[in-house]
Amino acid sequence: MESERTVADASADDVYPVHVPWVAVTIFVVVAFGLAWLVTLPLWFSGGLASPLASILLVVMMFTPAVAALLVVFFVQRPRPASIPRYLGLWPLRPLKRTIWMIVAAVFGSIAIVVAGALLVVALGLATLDLVNFSGFAAQIASLSSKPLPIPIQLLAVLQLVSIPAGALINALFTIGEELGWRGWLLPSLRPLGTWPALVISGAVWGLWHSPVILLGYNFGEPNLLGVALMVGGCVLYGILVGWLRLRTGSIWPSVFAHAAFNAAGGFLLLVSVAGTPVSSPALSPLGWVTWIIMGLVIAALALAGQFGKSGSLSAAAPRRLSRPQK
């Protein structure tokens, strides 16, 4: 006779599919990509990323994976998951204490990755720090307003640094739009392929989804296939890390806050480097090839520690169970 805990775990595993729902996956990708292009299409005719609409449309674009996920999970995927909130990793938060601590670790871990990537950029001689006058940050402020600063630039820079975790809390309101799609629905749907294929494929899809804005010069200043390839590479590596959080906890929330913290810390190099540093470049961008080295080392450490073999409710046994009996 199974214990109460084993029965509960089995119930959790019953949510996830035995086989990849390829029809639903295909429709999800088509809808997510199609909506992303549709939302950003005005930028292609109104000045690109310099358009006044850019800041709004980039936020709207972030919710297109969530729309695609909800569409397929409610209307396409058959059999429908026995518990949609559990399938998407929204609820329940169990065990609560571990999930909360994983969220905290995810936030500061993502910030550490961005900071370590920026320091490696400096160590490689690709940028120079300015921790006295913060000239890069000062130049950015000057470009936004000609009024004199009410406080010293040094104090403002420190305030920016210490506010990064708080920025992660705000950014989570937007990154939930992406994470609900990529790690909430797509990753567990690809899980029957195995942990590593699911992580790599979901990360590659995530990277390609950015194409409408990458081809406008977003992130790397490379509005071409090189820029798309760089985004795919960065998203695969970072996607493995946030995907591990999803698999390890069975919850989407650590991934949401990790992603939010990464975005909040994205301007760190601009904050501490000399004026004129091309932070939007293949090497210096937070998702550039230098930070790939840091992420690769973290992935290797997790793999050597056997962490990719440990899962929460998305356990290794999950693919052997049916979502719901076919009627």
Would you place residue 312 in the very low, low, confident or very high pLDDT band (cuts 50, 70, 90)? low
pLDDT at 7 over 70: no
**282: which residues sit within 8 A by CB, 6+ positions away?**
220, 222, 226, 230, 288, 289
Measured at the CA of 208, the angle between CA 24 and CA 58, to 5 degrees, comes to 100
pLDDT, greater one: 96 or 243: 243
Q: Is residue 325 part of a domain?
A: no
Would you place residue 310 in the very low, low, confident or very high pLDDT band (cuts 50, 70, 90)? low
pLDDT at 304 (0 to 100): 96
pLDDT, greater one: 85 or 327: 85
pLDDT at 174 over 80: yes
Give the DSSP letter string of 86-124: HHTT-S--SSHHHHHHHHHHHHHHHHHHHHHHHHHHHHT
State the average pLDDT over residues 72-76.
97
- Tokens, residue 212: 């409408």
pLDDT for 128-149, tens place per residue?
Answer: 999 999 999 999 888 877 777 8
pLDDT at 127 (0 to 100): 95
Q: Is residue 326 part of a domain?
A: no
Q: Is residue 242 part of a domain?
A: yes
Would you place residue 314 in the very low, low, confident or very high pLDDT band (cuts 50, 70, 90)? low
pLDDT at 6 over 60: no
Q: Is residue 206 part of a domain?
A: yes
pTM, rounded to two decimals: 0.90
Print the domain residue range for 216: 4-320
Count of structural domains, the chain: 1
- Tokens, residue 216: 């406008």
pLDDT at 238 over 70: yes
Q: Is residue 327 part of a domain?
A: no
Would you place residue 316 in the very low, low, confident or very high pLDDT band (cuts 50, 70, 90)? very low
Percent of the chain with pLDDT over 70: 90
Report how many helices (DSSP H) and strands (DSSP E) the chain contains, helices first: 16, 0
pLDDT at 196 over 70: yes
pLDDT at 279 (0 to 100): 87
Arithmetic mean of pLDDT over the chain: 90
With contact defined as beta carbons under 8 Å apart, do 231 and 214 qualify? yes
pLDDT at 311 (0 to 100): 62
State the average pLDDT over residues 233-252.
97
Would you place residue 107 in the very low, low, confident or very high pLDDT band (cuts 50, 70, 90)? very high
State the average pLDDT over residues 169-198.
97
Would you place residue 62 in the very low, low, confident or very high pLDDT band (cuts 50, 70, 90)? very high
Per residue in 260-291, is it b (16+ CB within 10 Å) or e — as a string?
bbbbbbbbbbbbbbeeebebbbbbbbbbbbbb
